[in-house]
Structure 1
């Protein structure tokens, strides 16, 4: 594609702001509302709609969020946002950096923050006053996720070697989202699609048996059109995989 044509398309894409947020461009700020939910230790929900389990409670020091329109059937799980409130005199300049780990709806809100995250919206010593509002106006932007870990895949749920495999990506880096996952079937020489069960959980019946599993995922940079980039991970899950074990992909960006 001609570079000028591509630049025009991206510029047009990022200038379009729709009520339902079908496109939110990386780095641009949008107006919305946020509230919070209570939980033990002020962290996330280990039974959240993204299927992350304990990771969904503790990732990013518990500064996580449920989202409504940004959930997008689970494709929005794992995305990172910078959220800033706009209450005069109470809100910090930095706001909170949060990870999407759940689905939730509030009073015309796009973010239902953990209390740890909601407190970050406030200036020092003013969190209690901000909590008293319950719901606040905010601006937010999609930002790249940054971790001290590589992208990992964890075997979850009712997985049972060899008949059924369910996996969930953890520490998803950058500003892209995983929209599809496929497994290589060596005997048939073909890629088999995994099903998105819910949230960020993908599964497959009768996965390859007796050999390490090669998979690939399709990545879409948030807000920039159709997914067209496949990332292949050769033998990323060993043949003796077990439920609850996490396997490192070596990918950090």
Structure 2
């Protein structure tokens, strides 16, 4: 199951930050007391919502999943809240919390020993990734990965030999998280790896 039980959202470009805001968590609360409860929902950013689309005030906006809307609704009003379109909200950045897990990776389809692409599924804490490095088995040098899009990173070099250690640096705080030999020697696309 995905973190936060599909409570995800797309955000405006100012929050998405060309993909570097992907994975960040926000608490969002609806201000319309006629249809919304007082509960805030924590969402994880998974995509960008185009500027100037519906629900835009010119700076920031959120396009939320049905599960996120449902969490904020007064009991029995889920459908009505989802059909509403624009609703007034307040929001704030919050740490991402994934009990029992620190991070999860997904090796992307098309990866080879000369081109490795990794999706950071989620990162406990800051959530956003500002840089990503890998270190090959027996190596001493951290190899910088390139930002591809969203929470996807790649390195084109080879042949690359696992197991790989991974080091992430959070965009918002600069906090570094590293894990030794987290990607096994016999890695393959679509393997999920958890710390």
TM range, normalised to the smaller chain?
0.7 to 0.9
Distance (Å, rounded) in 2 between the aligned partners of 1:207 and 1:80: 35
Shift of 1:186: 6.9
| Match 2:106 to one of 133, 139, 154 | 154
**Local SS of the residue matching 1:171:** strand
Distance (Å, rounded) in 2 between the aligned partners of 1:196 and 1:78: 14
- Corresponding residue for 1:98? 43
Distance (Å, rounded) in 1 between the aligned partners of 2:104 and 2:115: 19
Structure 2: 5+ residue runs without aligned partners?
none
**1:78 touches 1:100 (CA, 8 Å); kept in 2?**
yes
Distance (Å, rounded) in 1 between the aligned partners of 2:71 and 2:137: 49
Shift of 1:176: 4.8
| Match 2:183 to one of 232, 237, 243 | 237
- Corresponding residue for 1:114? 65
**1:178 touches 1:217 (CA, 8 Å); kept in 2?**
yes
- Structure 2 residue 31 is matched with structure 1 residue 86: yes
Question: Could you report, residue by residue, the CA deviation over 1:193-250 in whole angstroms, capped at 9, with x for unpaired residues?
Answer: 1011000000011256444112211124x3x5xx3x433322121121100001223x
Rg comparison, structure with higher value: 1
- Corresponding residue for 1:143? 94
Query: What TM-score do you get using the length of structure 2 for normalisation?
Result: 0.84
**Local SS of the residue matching 1:124:** coil
Instruction: Give 1:55-74 correspondences, 5 Å limit.
Output: 58-68=2-12, 69-74=14-19
Alignment size in residue pairs: 187
CA 1:211 to 1:120, structure 2 compared with 1: closer, same or farther past 3 Å?
A: closer
Question: Could you report, residue by residue, the CA deviation over 1:53-82 in whole angstroms, capped at 9, with x for unpaired residues?
Answer: xx7xx4422211011121111111111111
| Match 1:219 to one of 154, 165, 170 | 170
CA 1:176 to 1:248, structure 2 compared with 1: closer, same or farther past 3 Å?
A: closer
Distance (Å, rounded) in 2 between the aligned partners of 1:234 and 1:193: 16
Supply the RMSD in Å over aligned alpha carbons. Answer: 2.3
Distance (Å, rounded) in 2 between the aligned partners of 1:248 and 1:78: 16
Structure 1: 5+ residue runs without aligned partners?
1-54
CA 1:210 to 1:176, structure 2 compared with 1: closer, same or farther past 3 Å?
A: closer
Question: Could you report, residue by residue, the CA deviation over 1:90-129 in whole angstroms, capped at 9, with x for unpaired residues?
Answer: 2111132211111113331510011221122211112333
- Structure 2 residue 152 is matched with structure 1 residue 201: yes
Distance (Å, rounded) in 2 between the aligned partners of 1:84 and 1:77: 20
Shift of 1:190: 2.8
Distance (Å, rounded) in 2 between the aligned partners of 1:202 and 1:87: 39
- Corresponding residue for 1:130? 81
